[in-house]
Amino acid sequence: MSDVIGHQNARVRIKDLLLRAYIGIKEEEINNQQDVLINVELTYDASGAIHRNEIEAALNYRTITKQIIQHVDGNRFALLERLTHEVLSIVMEHEAVQWAQVEIDKPHALRYAESVSVCLEAHR
Ligand SMILES: Nc1nc2c(c(=O)[nH]1)N=C([C@H](O)[C@H](O)COP(=O)(O)OP(=O)(O)OP(=O)(O)O)CN2
């Protein structure tokens, strides 16, 4: 197979990671978990992963997902901005990540809206 000429930056998307979280400022939210829907998008140089075809050469998206799950499970958050920032920080702790965007939805948090979300991004 011939090599395709071009950059080998990969765009990884973790889509609709549905977790239960203590998130919010109302008493009902402080006392009860609710759904949060997490979307992560990141880029990294995947040339090593492409050439070696081994997980050791890749940015392991399973590892990142498990870290996010553990963090959300083990903590309480008031604002959606703070939760989004902390998830983005977990992603950016991986040195290989060049750029990342995290969007977190609180479905049905607002009485008259389907959902509300906060989106943050970071780059090196
Ligand atoms: N910038 C932010 N604003 C708000 C956040 C937040 O995290 N960041 N969080 C909340 C509440 O926790 C919740 O998400 C919304 O509650 P509330 O304002 O009560 O929304 P309702 O539609 O249920 O309001 P009603 O007056 O009861 O209809 C708020 N803001």
Q: Is the CB of 111 under 6 A from ligand 1?
A: yes
Residue 18 falls inside a structural domain: yes
Beta carbons of 83 and 23 less than 8 angstroms apart: yes
The residue segments making up the domain with residue 53 are 9-123
**Nearest C-alpha neighbor of 38 from the set 121, 95, 103, 96:** 103
Q: Which residues of the chain have pLDDT under 50?
A: none
Residue 70 falls inside a structural domain: yes
The pTM of this model reads 0.94
> Tell me: the pLDDT tens digits for 47-60?
999 999 999 999 99
**Nearest C-alpha neighbor of 38 from the set 68, 74, 78:** 68
**Per DSSP, which regions of the chain are E strands?**
9-23, 34-45, 76-77, 97-107, 115-123
Name the residue of 31, 79, 86, 104 to mutate for ligand 1: max ligand atoms within 8 A of Cβ.
79
Residue 2 falls inside a structural domain: no
- pLDDT score for 1: 63
Residue 3 falls inside a structural domain: no
Q: Helix 61-73 to helix 80-92 angle, to the nearest 10 degrees?
A: 150
The minimum-distance atom of ligand 1 relative to the CA of 82 is 7
Residue 58 falls inside a structural domain: yes
Q: Is the CB of 105 under 6 A from ligand 1?
A: no
- pLDDT score for 7: 77
| 39 CA from centroid of ligand 1 (Å) | 21
The minimum-distance atom of ligand 1 relative to the CA of 113 is 22
Q: Structurally, how many domains does the chain consist of?
A: 1
CATH number for 17: 3.30.1130.10
